[in-house]
A and B are shown apart, each in its own frame.
Chain A
Amino acid sequence: MDVGIEEPRALYQKRIPIVTRSVKGRFRNFKWGVMVLAYAVFFGLPWLPWTRHGVASQAVMFDLGGRRFFIFDLVMYPQNVFWLALLLFIAATFLFFATSLIGRAFCGYFCFQTLWTDIFIWIEKLVQGERPARIRLQRQPWDREKILKLGVTHALWLLISFWTGMTFMLYYGYAPDLLVRFFTGHAAYAAYVTVFALTATTYAAAGLMREQICAYVCPYGRFQSVMYDPETLAVAYDARRGDGSMGRAAPRAELKIHAIRQQKGYGDCIDCGFCVQVCPAGIDIRDGLQYRCISCGLCIDACNNIMDSVGYPRGLIRYDSEANLALPQPAKPHIHWKRLKVVGYFVALGVMTGALVYSIATRTNFEHDVQQIRQPLYVVLSNGDIRNRYQIRLTNKSGADMEYRITTQGLPPGALDLGEMQTVKVHSGNSVIVQASIKLTPQQVGKYPRFDFVITPLSAPEDKVVEQVNFYSRTDEQ
């Protein structure tokens, strides 16, 4: 290899603008589908009403002030934050799982950067025309047409960016009310900062930086690439078929017929460059798998269209695995799931999803926490009795005010003292601390090393919980 015999080059590089050609095909359709769904969810969700008593009737709302998240009929409190941890674990494992099977599937179809860049490119095309027209416009001097077209493009980009930031903010309050407050200047300072920051970053990331985010900023792509195996499916150019022994060639008159081409040793690639022109990452997939490729499949669509038009078989660029491509006779590409790693990810995914579903399904609508007071661990009373104290925290997560009764189980009658609180009333969404003390005579002490607290919501006795605790005392009195 002949490297390094060159003039030094600048340390910084100007971005070479990528002007993509639009394309039609299976992967493009799939991308549209994902996009419509994702945008419908993101932009529509804050406006979805939901009947809920006492609080705003919004299906999904992140109530930071009240420290709870409303997600349809599920209300999340800080105590439930481990659901979030589980969810993140599941998401990460799912990513690993999908990546080892079909490569960077996330990047090309589901990533926010991809989705927003896609819509921005679509607008660009809508206003300025197809690739050749856009390239012409770029070269054109700054005349009326250029100013107008670029102005409209950027204005539309900014509008979408603004609405993106706005929508994000609307999740943190009651949307209709928040919207009015925002435009009348009565929203919180943080709301304006959030909207401004998201507008600016969306505009910069999807409009100006695009593939540079994937190449230089995103850490996700980096670690996804290292999870590839030889069996992983990835967008690949079949070099053997495309290049043949003589290389690529345009379908000149004498090289049009597939059989003749093959006979002469020319590959199927007609060197039309379509696959390069449609690539949002600005790469040539025919150079082999590259770290910039986001696996969007658009080059597959482009090449399949070309193959159709010249009447050669499809699939010169396709989802295939390195291992399969290296075979003398490549088989039909398929997903290789029978691998220890993949099965391992799948099992982890199953276990964690099960745990999350179980935990959510069996949630009670109140949270309890019983703690023994350890300073001091026990107290000797004037008549020699021993007292232990416990702090019980109750959080009412149901939508209504609730009353609870605290009793004990496995203790002689009269041992429990709750002060003035016969029943404990807790307003919806609030927490209270109850101090409970247990008093035992020196003779009783040794017989009750542990006992249970029973907390019963009066309106739903079937939800009662039992919590076992210890009773401490001096050993010589036991």
Chain B
Amino acid sequence: MSQEKLQSHTVQTTGHAWDGDLQEYNNPIPNWWLYAFYISVLAAIAYWFTYPAWPVGKGFTTGFDHITYVNDKGVTKTTHWNTRALFMKETNEAVAAQKPYFDKVAATPFEQIAKDPELNSFVVSAGKQLFSDNCAACHQQGGGGKMGFAPNLTDDDWLYGGHYANIQQTITNGRHGYMPPFAEVLTDAQITQLADYVLSLSHVAVNPDSARAGDALFHSETAACYYCHGADAKGRQVLGSANLTDSIWLWANVPGAGTIPLKEAAVKNVIRQGLNKGVMPSWKDRLSPEQIKLLAVYVHELGGGK
């Protein structure tokens, strides 16, 4: 049937013919399709006038549209529409949306924040972002630190104290750890003895005689290590001197060194050269007090609190 039908209906072609008989069907598209195309051309022209578009001499057509935002100095600016200004405007809005939460963190005592699951959730998510943007460069993403470079914030050892206020203080004003080089005052044998003593405090099986000699040296006026590290070698948080009796090492990679001589060498190196690199910058000029407070709670939680 369809055969017979087709014969009675001739098919429209575009009228072109190639190779004598090769032709092209014409299936006209509806008129509104054409109009839709014209309308989109008009829309493109409208767009051109509304938004920045064409380069003209040294400038460009800026369009009709304007955008108003507050810049980082707190000055309200109005400029022709552009994506940069739009970004600033949207940033303003996002900051305004977060403000009530930051205000709440600022107004709530530290312990109270940790007890409030919903506020604490905000601290975790906002803190993670702040930490990534500001702290992760040294302390690594996640706060794991880097041996010999920046302390691990996820363990329970705090050079300057792990209470909220200590952490807040550390972030606000920064810290500068310092240990003098002992290569000038002590002989290599003495330094070995000291290293053995320090290792013995962490239960590394070193030569006990050497360690005993080191103990004496540690508490003597010659080396005077106890000034800073304390008579019990547990460190003093006011100075930020390390606790030498625990299993945590920051400057000497003792856990990473395979053999005892290597562990010894790592510690000796620190004693010999001293340290002048434990510098944590002050963040008070870069972060707002609310941000610092929030970070303090976040970091406190990283290390499981103290």
Contacts and interface: CB of A to CB of B under 8 A. Distances in A.
B29 A420 contact: no
A344 interface: no
B247 A216 contact: no
A470 interface: no
Interface in A1-57: 1-15
A375 B12 contact: no
Contacts of B114: 419-421
Given A381-B156, A419-B301, A424 B13 contact: no
A435 B124 contact: yes
B10 interface: yes
Interface stretch (A271-279, A346-354, A426-434): A426-434
Contacts of B157: 381-382
Nearest to B11: A3
A453 to B, nearest CB: 16
B26 A421 contact: no
B5 interface: yes
B155 A239 contact: no
A2 to B, nearest CB: 6
Interface in A230-281: 239-240, 243
Given A15-B32, A419-B114, A421-B117, A382 B2 contact: no
B105 to A, nearest CB: 15
B184 to A, nearest CB: 31
A4 B304 contact: no
Given A239-B1, A387-B304, A212 B155 contact: no
B10 A380 contact: no
Interface string B68-103: 000000000000000000000000000000000000
A216 B30 contact: yes
Contacts of B121: 431-433
A312 B32 CA distance: 43
B15 A243 contact: no
A12 B34 contact: yes
Given A2-B10, A381-B247, A426 B26 contact: no
B5 A4 contact: no
Contacts of B25: 4
Contacts of B31: 12-15
Given A4-B11, A420-B111, A421-B115, A11 B305 contact: no
A145 interface: no
B297 to A, nearest CB: 11
A376 B142 contact: yes
Nearest to A387: B304
A379 interface: yes
Interface residues of A, number: 51
A420 B14 CA distance: 80
Task: Using C-beta atoms within 8 Å of the partner chain, give the interface range for chain B.
Answer: 35 or more
A425 interface: yes
A11 B11 contact: no
Interface in A390-412: 391
Contacts of A430: 118
A13 B23 contact: no
Interface in A407-461: 417, 419-421, 424-427, 430-435, 437
B120 A417 contact: no
Interface in B1-25: 1-2, 5-7, 10-15, 17, 23, 25
Contacts of B125: 433
B60 interface: no
A209 B32 contact: yes
A362 interface: no
Nearest to B7: A1
B268 to A, nearest CB: 22
Interface of B: 1-2, 5-7, 10-15, 17, 23, 25-26, 28-34, 111, 114-115, 117-118, 120-121, 124-125, 140-144, 152, 154-157, 243, 246-248, 255, 301, 304-305
Interface of A: 1-15, 209, 212, 216, 239-240, 243, 287-288, 373-376, 379-384, 387, 389, 391, 417, 419-421, 424-427, 430-435, 437
Of all A-B residue pairs in the complex, the 5 with the closest CB atoms, nearest first, are A375-B142, A8-B15, A382-B246, A376-B144, A13-B28
17 contacts: A9-B15, A9-B26, A11-B26, A13-B28, A13-B29, A14-B30, A239-B1, A243-B1, A375-B140, A376-B144, A379-B154, A381-B156, A382-B243, A387-B155, A432-B118, A433-B120, A435-B124
